[in-house]
Structure 1
């Protein structure tokens, strides 16, 4: 007599769990790499934008024999006075639109606390600050954009003392 056996096909629960775990692990590695690449792109954009502002400030100085004067730190952030990127309330007064079409906003889009670009000047010196993305992106002493006052949270461009080392 012939006997028919039914062959079961498909995956066991253990096999499915292993596959799901592997996919989850791979996706977390990809996301970490993607986030790191985004942070590096934001930091690269910050460097370019700080240099653009610096160039506009130097042209302004050549025309006016002084940098735009502000009493304290001005920026787009709440603590920087919630200024704008152009017009009468710009975070660097008098620079737009003659010397730069519009002032850049930090690529992170964050405007809480002291975040974003900040500017301070007494007319003869100025200092530009930008918050960097993370500890791995901060410049060290002697490197471009290093801020001795804020070595673990900001980059800076300045044009002399006391702005560079004490503001």
Structure 2
């Protein structure tokens, strides 16, 4: 009398392993996509909150915080990169914490204003990461440059 041994064949085990690998790959890709969108949404919220402070300042003072037409960089100039906002309108401004760099003019907020118009951008060099850029609303994309996106007054597009 032969004793039968039950179990899985190598082919069956390989099929199960392949299915598990495929499902894991799909899950990881989906997670990364959702994670990228969430990070981009947080970045949009940060720059929008700074924009709201700039607009509030202009509403109360009659002009936008002026930099004399020069670009100011948050990594280099701190919260003073937009003159007059802190501490009167906010105790501090949102700052960029991802991808820290020793380059004080890279991966930073930049602001420029002549008092009548302004432009506030998130600057990357050499260019905005493609995964992030695809999640940015079209009205926040700067068609002049490929290394930034942001918000601006109607006359600030030319900065």
- Place the TM-score, normalised by the shorter chain, in its bin: 0.7 to 0.9
SS of match in other structure, 1:20: helix
CA RMSD between the two structures? 2.6
In the other structure, the counterpart of 1:145 is 140
Give the TM-score normalised by the residue count of structure 1. 0.71
How many angstroms apart in 2 are the aligned matches of 1:27 and 1:153? 34
**Structure 2: tracts of 5 or more residues without a match:** 123-127
**Structure 1: tracts of 5 or more residues without a match:** none
Residues 1:7 and 1:137: Cα distance change in structure 2 (over 3 Å): same
Residues 1:137 and 1:153: Cα distance change in structure 2 (over 3 Å): farther
| CA contact 2:66–2:115 (8 Å) conserved in 1 | yes
How many angstroms apart in 1 are the aligned matches of 2:11 and 2:53? 63
In the other structure, the counterpart of 1:119 is 111
SS of match in other structure, 2:98: coil
| CA contact 2:64–2:117 (8 Å) conserved in 1 | yes
Give the TM-score normalised by the residue count of structure 2. 0.74
In the other structure, the counterpart of 1:53 is 50
Whose helix proportion is higher, 1 or 2? 2
How many angstroms apart in 1 are the aligned matches of 2:99 and 2:58? 30
SS of match in other structure, 1:134: helix
1:109 aligns with 2:104: no
Q: 2:151 aligns with which of 124, 139, 157?
A: 157
> Radius of gyration: which is bigger?
1
Residues 1:103 and 1:47: Cα distance change in structure 2 (over 3 Å): same
| CA contact 1:120–1:127 (8 Å) conserved in 2 | yes
How many angstroms apart in 2 are the aligned matches of 1:138 and 1:62? 27
How many angstroms apart in 1 are the aligned matches of 2:25 and 2:110? 35
